[in-house]
A and B are shown apart, each in its own frame.
Chain A
């Protein structure tokens, strides 16, 4: 069974500082990988996804993520955080095989941005 671990429950950074959110997955092969963001009381918005190819993926809002097969990781990064980035971030995996496109999510990382 596939699983996702987000080791950091809560991260606090100052506005303008760089950010890295960690994600590790467990899966028999290379899964499809996703990062979503959720603001309070809202649904999930896709930031970026990785299916294959270039292991550095660019997303919306200035976010990027790097897939590292050897570490089973897909960490999310942003060079300079804005106050509006405060939200909860979820890493998710999906299985490339089979017909059902089910997502398995991590437990999330809550990001606080200090002025």
Chain B
């Protein structure tokens, strides 16, 4: 049984550009959460999607948006990239409190 799959694994973008990160949840999970992990820091909650709607949002600007599809997969979009958006972006799927994390997408903004 595949766990959480994230794509791409790495990417490099230029300041001001837009990026889309993708996440396929673990089979049986209906909820997807996104976290940003800056170098040397713990993950910070961006938002959570359930039944194709944003259920909860952390302290992130509107430049961060997301989507959940009927098959529970999810996208994270970041507009107008800043250097400070460089981080590891983790997707986690869950059913209840049973979280499974993906290996993340390493985003570098230059």
Contacts and interface: CB of A to CB of B under 8 A. Distances in A.
B90 interface: yes
B31 A44 contact: no
- From A51, A92, A102, name the one whose CB has the most chain B CB atoms within 10 angstroms: A102
Q: Is the interface of B mostly helix, strand, loop or mixed?
A: strand
B61 interface: no
Nearest to A101: B97
B48 A44 contact: no
A76 to B, nearest CB: 15
Given A100-B48, A100-B56, A101-B94, A44 B43 contact: yes
B86 interface: no
B42 A90 contact: yes
Contact of A102 (B48, B90, B104, B106): B48
Contacts of A92: 42
Interface string B9-20: 000000000000
Interface of B: 4, 31, 33, 35, 40-45, 48, 50, 55-56, 58, 90, 92, 94, 96-97, 99, 101-104, 106
